[in-house]
Amino acid sequence: MLEIRHLETLTAIREAGSLQEAADRLHVTQSALSHQLRDLEVRLKTPLLNRRTRPARLTTAALRILALADEILPRLKATERELQRLAAGRTGRLHLAIECHSCFQWLMPALDAFRQNWPDVALDLSAAFSFAPLPALVRGDLDVVITSDPQPMDVIQYLPLFSYELVLAVAAANPLAQYKYIEPDQLADQVLITYPVEKQRLDIFTTFLDPAGVEPAALRKAELTPIIVQLVASQRGVAALPNWALTEYLNQGWLRICHLGTQGVWRTLYAAVRIEDADASYLNAFMTQARETCFRTLNGIKAVHPSSAAGTSSRH
């Protein structure tokens, strides 16, 4: 029953001190203002103005409505200003979630650089390892999801960041280190170290081991890339990781990488966004900054044309 115009009317009456001045502020006639006020009193079945006093005074019911107006109207005006700035392309919200355990390496520098050029865009970052990020993106809780697991949805667009090769990290002392390429059956007697992700979401299984009907001797899970690398180096197992995540460890002499098959296993990392946001200036600026940071700091990645369709792959 209450409308924004009613909140504005009572606010104007309180601030102006009289119906005539309130009508002037609202650019209506005093008669129209009185009619609106009486109509609202009929709807609410309670008086809002004590007309027996001079000047007329707001009743307790009117004061209750004004308490609501004091809460709602400033927020409404702030949102209108924000929308005007958003329409101008200089502000917005960029709440990101990542499904890639190794992505912090390049994402944090990219966000730092973006923040300097777009200070009015609200940034937030979370790891999407314990919740489903794509439904959160559709609901509007998130604005960007970094993923290599594109799920076809009508309301989501996948913007490619780069392609990378999934490689096998082995200890220098592991007999597999002598091979440039590894076939699936060579992992049947190995302990495979992975991130704590379901098997059906791991590329090493979906694209390499499962098609060949091969299972590793055992699985071991670790949360962080440095821990996985240390476990591999100490011959506790082998791990399939993005090639760029291993660059800093290769010059230390105790780690080797092997390609998965003669063709290698290549994946594409995407930024998933809602279709209606895909052309936002700040979002395009973030994508440009992210790609620049990636190709400046990561080794072994390849560019992907932005118009490339997102295929279906698994996450790690």
Q: Annotate 44-97 with DSSP letters as a single string.
A: HTS-SEETTSSS-EE-HHHHHHHHHHHHHHHHHHHHHHHHHHHHTTS-EEEEEE
CA–CA separation, 10 and 4 (whole Å): 10
Would you say 65 and 14 are in contact if contact means Cβ atoms under 8 Å apart? no
| 289 pLDDT above the threshold of 80 | yes
pLDDT for 77 equals: 83
Lowest mean pLDDT among 11-25, 121-135, 246-260: 121-135
Mean per-residue pLDDT, 49-65: 86
Q: What pLDDT does 211 receive?
A: 95
Highest mean pLDDT pick, 14-23, 111-120, 125-134, 166-175 = 166-175
Reply yes or no on whether the pLDDT at 131 is more than 90: no
Mean of pLDDT values over 153-182 = 95
Lowest mean pLDDT among 82-86, 137-141, 172-176, 241-245: 82-86
Q: Helices 19-26 & 4-16, crossing angle to 10 degrees?
A: 130
Q: Is the pLDDT of residue 86 over 70?
A: no
Cβ atoms of residues 200 and 210 within 8 Å: no
**Which residue has better confidence, 266 or 1?**
266
pLDDT by residue (tens digit) across 201-241? 888 999 999 999 999 999 999 988 899 999 999 999 999 99
Is 160's pLDDT higher than 70? yes
For residue 313, the model assigns a pLDDT of: 40
**What is the distance, to the nearest Å, from the Cα of residue 51 to the centroid of all Cα atoms in its chain?**
55
Q: Which of 94, 100, 95, 99 is nearest to 132 (CA)?
A: 99
Q: Can you give the pLDDT at residue 311? A: 42
Q: What is the rounded CA–CA span in Å between residue 214 and residue 279?
A: 44
pLDDT band at residue 144 using 50, 70 and 90 as cut-offs: very high
What's the chain's average pLDDT? Answer: 87
pLDDT of residue 312: 39
- The mean pLDDT of 247-271, rounded to a whole number, is 91
Which residues lie across from 274 on neighbouring strands?
156
Least confident piece of the model among 76-90, 195-209, 211-225, 243-257? 76-90
The residue-averaged pLDDT of 177-187 equals 96
Tokens at 217, concatenated? 């001797």
pTM of the model: 0.65
Predicted confidence band at 287 (pLDDT cuts at 50, 70, 90)? very high
